[in-house]
Each structure stands twice: as C-alpha cells, then as structure tokens.
Amino acid sequence: MRTIVWFIYFWLYLIFIYPKQRYFEKRRAEGVPKEEDLPEINQVVQDWGNRLLKLAGVTCHVEGLENIPKDRAVLFTSNHQGNFDIPLMITKLGTTNPLVAKISLEHLPFISKWMKLFDCLFIDRGNARQSLNVFSKAEKIIEEGRSVIIFPEGTRSRQDEAGEFKEGAFKIATKTGAPVVPVAINGSYKVMEANGFWIRPAEVKITVLPAIETASLSKEEMKHLGLRVRTMIMECNNKQNHVADKEKIAVSAV
C-alpha cells in the first residue's frame, strides 16, 4: 500500500506544480538570469524531495556536514546504492546542487524538466564523446561557483558493497582544482531495491567525509583518486555496519 500511495503522490505532486515549472521555463526562455529563480526552484525541489522521503518512511541520519568547505564549489562524490540516493543527496547536504544523472532520467516527464531547471546534467555512459561534453559542462558549473554531485559507479550497486569508481568522473575536480567531498550513503537500497522494488521504511545514514584538496595532488595520486574515495566510503560504511551488528547481538542477548 505504501508503494502505491508513494507513486501516486510522486506523479500528482509533479502535475500540481506543473504551472510553476512552466513559469520558470518561460522566464529562462525570456533571458531572465537563472540566479534570480534558483532560490525558489531549490525550495520547491527540497520540499518535494523531503516529502518523498517522509512518505517512504525513510529515517535519515546525517553526519559530517562541517566537512563541506565553506564558500567554495566542490565535487560531491557518493556511492550509489539505490533510487532514493537522488532525493537524499539533493535534500541532505544543506542546499540543492546540480546532479550528474543517467541519460534515461532525461526522458521522464516533469521530473527531467525540474532537474534541468537547477542545471542537472544527463550522461550516456556508453557514449564517450557525450560523456566528455557533460564533464565539461560540470566543470563550468563549478567554475561558476556551484557544487556538483556525481555517482562515480555510474549505476546502483543495490547492496552494501560499492562497485568500481570510474576515475574519469574525478577529472571534473582535478581540472578545476575543486575539492572532492566523499559522501558515504549507507542503507538506501533497503528502502526499495532490497524488497523487489516495493517501498519499505528504512534507516539511512549519510556521512560527509573530509574533503580532498585536488590542487595539491600529484599526477599519480590523481590517477587513483576514485579508488581512494571508494576506500574511504567503504571503510566508513563497514565500520557503521560492524557497530550496528554488535548492537543487535547485545540486544538479542538481553
């Protein structure tokens, strides 16, 4: 029942705010600077994302927000466990940041339009030229002073273990000198992917890890930046899961 209600709300809300979508699109077409509308667009997206998480029964614990550099654009790089990572990442980092998303999302009605309004980019991992173009646009966004979110795995792992982090994604940071901020998502796949795509309440932990200053990295360190970030994220999640397992054992022994 929760899943049905969630999807009904998902689409009805997008239809309800369609007039706002058209209003912002019209202003963009008329040449109104996007900076004038971004605060309101961000608020709409934040409200929608938080409602979706609440309706799904997601309990989210966030740690490490103090690790986000102040007054600087960064590249947020996160593991990708499930579909709910997107609303989590756009609502729990303090502000709505442009996201590099898979190309299939560009074909979704309504939602793709809103994503474009806050400058999300759609990447075709199978098209090298298109991917390079997307990375170039992401670099420009960072140079303009806005942070960008990317999932270097390129697809959902649907489990605790993260897949390989593609090194190419990190060139967005190394070419601009922006810090890389690793974000560990722990448990998001339990909301949907672990249940045959039925939505179930779950506890999710988001940990913002210390930033990596790319400007001071050697060429060799840049080559293995993806592996370094993946290791940081997995060590964080494995530690959390180990503590959780010990707590469960202690409770069951009482």
Q: How many domains does the chain have?
A: 1
DSSP letters for the chain: -HHHHHHHHHHHHHHHTHHHHHHHHHHHHTT--HHHHHHHHHHHHHHHHHHHHHHHTEEEEEE-GGGSPTTS--EEEE---STTHHHHHHHSSSS---EEEEGGGGGSTTHHHHHHHTT-EEE-TT-HHHHHHHHHHHHHHHHTT--EEE-TTSS---SSS--PPPGGGGHHHHHHTPPEEEEEEESGGGTTGGGTT----EEEEEEEPPPB-GGG--HHHHHTHHHHHHHHHHHHHHHHHHHHHHHHHHHHH-
- pLDDT of 244 reads 64
- Tokens read off for 130: 């298109």
- pLDDT of 142 reads 98
Q: What is the pTM of this model?
A: 0.92
- Nearest one of 236, 101, 252, 245 to 181, comparing CA atoms: 236
Where does the pLDDT of residue 51 fall: very low under 50, low under 70, confident under 90, or very high at 90 and above? very high
pLDDT per position as a tens digit, 74-97: 999 999 999 999 999 999 998 899
The CA angle 94-100-105, to the nearest 5 degrees, is 110
- Rounded-to-integer distance, Cα 231 and Cα 237, Å: 10
- pLDDT of 242 reads 83
pLDDT averaged over every residue in the chain: 94
pLDDT per position as a tens digit, 227-252: 999 999 999 999 999 876 665 665 55
Distance set, CA 88 to CA 96, 106, 179, 221, 252 (Å): 10, 19, 21, 30, 31
- Tokens read off for 137: 């646009």
Where does the pLDDT of residue 1 fall: very low under 50, low under 70, confident under 90, or very high at 90 and above? confident
**Which CATH number characterizes residue 106's domain?**
3.40.1130.10
pLDDT of residue 204 exceeding 90, the answer is: yes
Q: What is the residue range of 190's domain?
A: 2-253
